[in-house]
Structures are given as C-alpha cells and as structure tokens.
Amino acid sequence: MTGTTHALSDPGPSRIEWRQSPGLTAYPAALAEMEARAAAIRAGEAAELVWLLEHPPLYTAGTSADPAELFNPEGFPVYAAGRGGRYTYHGPGQRVGYLLFDLDRHGRDVRRFVHALEGWLIATLGALGVAARRAPGRIGIWADGPHGEAKVGALGLRVRRWVTMHGFAINLDPELSHFSGIVPCGIADFPVTSLGEMGVEDIQPRFDLALRGGLDEFLFSLEGGTGGTAKA
C-alpha cells in the first residue's frame, strides 16, 4: 500500500513502522493488507505497524452487529469487519488508525492494551484542546460537543494469535449526518461529534503529530497498566 512510512527507533525486530496513507483507501484493500501484515508479524517477518488513513463512505459490521441497527438510506457499502463491536461508519474526515502489535512483546493482556489505547487517544485529543474521556459503561472516546456529551471516537479490535488488528476511528471533521444510517456502536442515546464541530482547526496534521508524540507513553503503559488477560 502507498503512503508515508517511517521506522521508529530500534532497527531490530521490535521496530514499529509508522505509515500515513494519502487520499482514501478502499476498505477491502486495507483489510487484506492487515490480514497479510498480521501473519507476517506473527511469523517474525515484519515490523509492528501503526497505519493512519481515511476510507470512502462505508459502514462496517463487527461480530456483534444487529441488522436492526442498519438503515443506510444512502446505500453506502457495508463490509463485515471481523473485529469486535457493532456497526461503525467510516468516511472522509475521519482518521482511522490500524494497529498491528505483537502482544507477545507487550504482554498478553487485551484489556490492558485497550485501556492504554484509550489513554493514548485521550492524551492526543487533549493536546488539541479537547477534554476527551472514557465513559463508564459505554465504549469509545467521549467529549462535550455543541449538543452535550457525545462520542468522538470508536474502538474496535481483533486479536489473532496475539497480534492485534483494526484499532480506532476519531472524528476529525467527517459528514456527521452519515452516522444516521446506523446506530453507531449500538448506542442510540447519545450523539456523535467531531473536532471540527468543536471548532478545532488544522486538525489532521495536528492530530497525527500529537498521536505520534504519544507513542512512547502508550508503549510504556503497556508495560505497567492493569487489567486481566483475554484469550485470543
């Protein structure tokens, strides 16, 4: 796949590739790339990967997706994602991060990985002036938008042979009306919001820079976080 690629710090087997793909990446191509990369990581043939991109408008169905929560009045493509969770929207203006990490290197603790990922995203948004947070009993990343508490980011992971796939989606400045084609992540009682709706400017370059700046802290938190193990 095309994009800007950087190998971080250690040039040995523990190095992490940082990739930013320009334009819009077709979802089936991204899924195939993830599958192949995860297998290569497991075989010790490829570096771990943080891959930032955007997709054309589409919906993905997680393993718990309920068909009653899909309306899709505009007829966007719908793809089975293979990750956990329910229906999610992806589209231009939304930053998707695919995270392919070998949990044999970082501790076989999926809950710790998710908690650390939430903290990484919350700190990243904080660097852009957005007071994001976790919400007890609700998945995702939350903030106070113009219409009250709202979801600004979604998480969805799959772990195969202790290699993570999929990751997160943060609403930088997407067309928010597109979320009305689903019940986002099965949560109907709260709206979605975006950094653009909250008045953040020059969003994508700042987001990417802040996210990369927090990578070391994310990796450190994998070593000392809390949570139970989960089978994969």
Owner of token pair 């020059």: 202
Domain with 211, as residue range(s), is 4-223
The predicted pLDDT at position 9 comes to: 41
**Position 20 in a domain:** yes
Report residue 46: phi and psi, to 5°: -150, 155
Query: What string of pLDDT tens digits covers the 232 residues of the chain?
Result: 445 655 444 434 458 999 999 999 999 999 999 999 999 999 999 999 999 999 999 999 999 999 999 999 999 999 999 888 899 999 999 999 999 999 999 999 999 999 999 999 999 999 999 999 999 989 899 999 999 999 999 999 999 999 999 999 999 999 999 999 999 988 888 999 999 999 999 999 999 999 999 999 999 999 874 443 333 3
Distance CA 105, CA 92 (A): 33
The predicted pLDDT at position 1 comes to: 46
The predicted pLDDT at position 217 comes to: 96
Contact of 143 with 150, CB cutoff 8 Å: yes
**Position 232 in a domain:** no
Distance CA 46, CA 134 (A): 33
Query: Looking at the 3D structure of the chain, how many domains does it have?
Result: 1
CATH code at position 187: 3.30.930.10
**Position 228 in a domain:** no
Q: What is the pTM of this model?
A: 0.91
The total number of residues written for the chain in this structure: 232
The string of DSSP codes covering the chain is --SEEEEES--STT-EEEEE--S---HHHHHHHHHHHHHHHHTT-S-EEEEEE---SEEEE-TT--GGGB--TT---EEE--SSSSEEEE-TTEEEEEEE-BHHHH-S-HHHHHHHHHHHHHHHHHHTT---EEETTEEEEEEEETTEEEEEEEEEEEEETTEEEEEEEEESS--GGGGGGB-GGG--SS-B--TTTTT--SHHHHHHHHHHHTHHHHHHHHHH--------
**Position 229 in a domain:** no
Distance CA 177, CA 163 (A): 34
**Position 204 in a domain:** yes
**Position 230 in a domain:** no
The predicted pLDDT at position 185 comes to: 84
Q: Active-site residue numbers? A: 185
The predicted pLDDT at position 13 comes to: 41
